[in-house]
């Protein structure tokens, strides 16, 4: 019942029900955290992988994590569910 141990958008550990995102019907989303996903939608739908990378780095610096932990978290981002399927080019142009 718990296939994802990390948010498939920002790599945050999903180790607590409180941290899970929510679907449109109010149920918990097991795939994304509440900071990335609420009411069935991404909180920042236009965010790119590069932007997510900067957010993760600055958040982890605030949390005072070590550089190698930060590097590992950032390196894992491209393999998470949200970023694995690239946005079709015609959608990514602003």
Which of 9, 3, 11 shows the shortest CA–CA distance to 84? Answer: 9
**Contact assessment for residue 33 and residue 9, using Cβ atoms and an 8 Å cutoff:** yes
Phi, psi of 87 (to 5 degrees): -65, 135
Q: Which of 6, 7, 14, 60 binds Zn ion (CB under 5 A)?
A: 7
Beta strand extents in 1-94 (DSSP E only): 20-22, 28-33, 37-38, 41-42
Q: Is 73 in the site for Zn ion (CB under 5 A)?
A: no
Shortest spacing between CB 8 and Zn ion, in angstroms: 8
Q: How does DSSP classify residue 5?
A: S
Stretch that binds Zn ion, among 4-12, 45-53, 54-62, 80-88 (CB under 5 A): 4-12
Query: Is there binding between residue 10 and Zn ion (CB under 5 A)?
Result: yes
For the window 21-60, what string marks contact with Zn ion as x by the rule CB under 5 A?
A: ------------x--x------------------------
Q: Which residues bind Zn ion (CB under 5 A)?
A: 7, 9-10, 12, 33, 36
């Amino acid at each position: 019942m718990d296939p994802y141990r990390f948010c498939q958008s920002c790599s945050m550990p999903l180790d607590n029900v409180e941290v899970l995102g929510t679907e449109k019907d109010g149920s918990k989303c097991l795939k994304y955290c509440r900071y990335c996903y609420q009411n069935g939608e991404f909180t920042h739908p236009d965010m790119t992988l590069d932007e997510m990378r900067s957010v993760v780095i600055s958040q982890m610096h605030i949390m005072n994590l070590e550089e190698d932990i930060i590097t590992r978290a950032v390196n894992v981002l491209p393999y998470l569910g949200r970023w694995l399927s690239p946005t079709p080019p015609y959608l990514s142009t602003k």
